[in-house]
Amino acid sequence: MTNKTKNPLSTFESDLKKMQSILEEIESKDLTLEEIIKKYQEGITLSKRCEEALKEAEQKVKLISDKSKK
Consecutive sets of 10 residues in the chain, 70 residues long: mean pLDDT of each? 59 93 91 94 95 92 84
Sequence ranges of the domains in the chain: 7-69
What stretch of H or E contains 28?
A: none
- Where do runs of H (alpha helix) occur along the chain? 8-27, 33-69
What is the pTM (predicted TM-score) of this model? 0.74
Cα–Cα distance, 29 to 13 (Å, whole number): 25
Please tell me the predicted confidence (pLDDT) of residue 3.
Answer: 44
Answer CATH for 7-69 from 1.10.1220, 1.10.287, 1.10.3470, 1.10.10 = 1.10.287
